[in-house]
Amino acid sequence: MCAYALQKAGVEVLLVEASPRSGGVINSVTRDGFLLELGPQSFSGTSQLRGLCAELGIADQLLEAPPKAPRYVLIDGELMPVPMSPPAFFTSKLINGSTKWALARDIFGKTTPPDGDESVGAFVRRKFSDQLLDRLVGPFVSGVYAGDPEKLSIRSAFPMLYEAEKASGSIVRGMFRVAKKKKGPRERPTLNTFREGNETLVRALSAKLGNAVLTQNNMAKIYKQSDGTFEVTLESSRNSESVLAKSVIFATPTQVTANLLSQLDGSFEPLLTPLEYAAVAVVSLGYRKSEVGHSLDGFGFLVPRSAGLRILGTVWNSSLFPGRAPDGQALLTTFVGGATDPSAVKLSGEELSNLVHSEIAPLLAIKSNPAFCNVTMWPRALPQYNLGHGERLASLAKSISRFPGIFLTGNYLRGPAIGSCVEQAFATAEEVLKGV
């Protein structure tokens, strides 16, 4: 994205990618008539992303999930709908009277966030209740970060909530204030993918970049020359070559970035390497619809940790978007692992698919074994915006400022969602252009 923005602005770019294809974890694959998303399943259609799609000529390939598709959460063995509006929240059976009272207290009362960093768990308990943390916030945190709410920082992982309380003394009033302040027509939140999967975006960007994309090349070394330019060594299975660059943008995961930047200055490594990642296994199972008793009418479901299951949640892909499964079949994608169950990804593919089937079958009244199965392991799936993340990023920015021409982009900076990564990539490109 960043390379595309720079090329569009007339800058000569070279995108170096270690693997045979660009796109990283965005990976859409067709197998046995199923369209699988091995990484992200869908994305929020921000106005920036929509604009980019229009510019790339792929807007007509965008698909939108049914806006009212219910989301469920597993409570006492039953899939209960998540309340999607304030009135639905107050009438929902999912939460008890004291949680509803805590919400009312937030609307009419005033609280102040503590001076230091606070975990998501501590924040929800302070403002609302243990029940809200267990039944709604914890599962939501699993869905976005595959994270542990006791470790994630509210300021870094959900800055809007922190800012809302800080500015208004109330989350609800603060969020309304932010929404009111936004200029232009109100954006309707949408959940999107493309007819041929999320990777359409990557393919369109790669096509625009053309020969500027160099795959199967590892960025292996970096050296700052006396004139301020950088000599970068690229290694492929066949050879090693050096390129000279005025600016280098690291869009690599933090451990790779730390290793390379430490060649310029030892202070980078201790800032980047402690950043934890959650490991996630993505298990896609296909079933004949006639064998599934549940209507699968909705987005899917999330599982509170207190339910005692190992699955984090399941997306009902074929209910959200057309073309995900052959006629008469359903595609269900389940996530296992995350920060609260790191050993799950040590299971074999067969163990994982058996585990997922055994846990989802009773919930969805599935009567037979899956007709199709695919397991993808992501040992470093999602960066964790844990306590201290904000301070670490501030120190990192300070260190980077001592190296004009070095820039960072990626999912550990502004949020892990695709929309946030796109926003970060464009912001980084703008920073680069200031120095051109």
Contact positions toward ligand FAD, by CB under 6 A? 16-19, 24-26, 39-43, 218-219, 251-253, 256, 280, 282, 378, 381-382, 410-411, 416-418, 421
Nearest distance, CB of residue 381 and ligand FAD, angstroms: 4
Q: What are phi and psi of 98, to 5 degrees?
A: -70, -30
**CA gap 318, 297 in Å, rounded:** 10
Nearest distance, CB of residue 380 and ligand FAD, angstroms: 8
With contact defined as beta carbons under 8 Å apart, do 277 and 251 qualify? no
Report CA-CA distances (Å) from 74 to 80, 312, 392.
6, 10, 36
With contact defined as beta carbons under 8 Å apart, do 273 and 254 qualify? yes
**Dihedral angle sign, alpha carbons of residues 101, 104, 105, 106:** positive
**CA gap 292, 298 in Å, rounded:** 14
Minimum CB distance to ligand FAD smaller for 169 or for 342: 342
Minimum CB distance to ligand FAD smaller for 164 or for 345: 345
Minimum CB distance to ligand FAD smaller for 26 or for 171: 26
**CA gap 120, 160 in Å, rounded:** 13
With contact defined as beta carbons under 8 Å apart, do 154 and 161 qualify? yes
Nearest distance, CB of residue 232 and ligand FAD, angstroms: 10
Could you list the beta-strand ranges (E) of 76-212: 78-81, 191-194
Nearest distance, CB of residue 276 and ligand FAD, angstroms: 14
**CA gap 322, 329 in Å, rounded:** 12
SS3 406: strand
Nearest distance, CB of residue 408 and ligand FAD, angstroms: 10
Nearest distance, CB of residue 211 and ligand FAD, angstroms: 17
Minimum CB distance to ligand FAD smaller for 37 or for 359: 37
- Measured N-to-C along each axis, helices 171-181 and 97-108 cross at an angle, to the nearest 10 degrees, of 50
Minimum CB distance to ligand FAD smaller for 136 or for 202: 202
Of 220, 82, 55, the closest CA to residue 139 belongs to 82
Of 72, 31, 10, 58, the closest CA to residue 294 belongs to 72
**Dihedral angle sign, alpha carbons of residues 302, 305, 306, 310:** positive
Of all residues in the shown chain, the one whose CB is closest to ligand FAD is 24
**CA gap 421, 427 in Å, rounded:** 10
With contact defined as beta carbons under 8 Å apart, do 353 and 373 qualify? yes
Nearest distance, CB of residue 263 and ligand FAD, angstroms: 12
How many other C-beta atoms can be found within 10 angstroms of the C-beta atom of residue 420? Answer: 16
Minimum CB distance to ligand FAD smaller for 73 or for 95: 73
Minimum CB distance to ligand FAD smaller for 39 or for 138: 39
Give the distance from CA 417 to its chain's centroid.
3
Minimum CB distance to ligand FAD smaller for 183 or for 238: 238
Nearest distance, CB of residue 293 and ligand FAD, angstroms: 27
Minimum CB distance to ligand FAD smaller for 15 or for 79: 15
Nearest distance, CB of residue 16 and ligand FAD, angstroms: 5
Minimum CB distance to ligand FAD smaller for 7 or for 411: 411
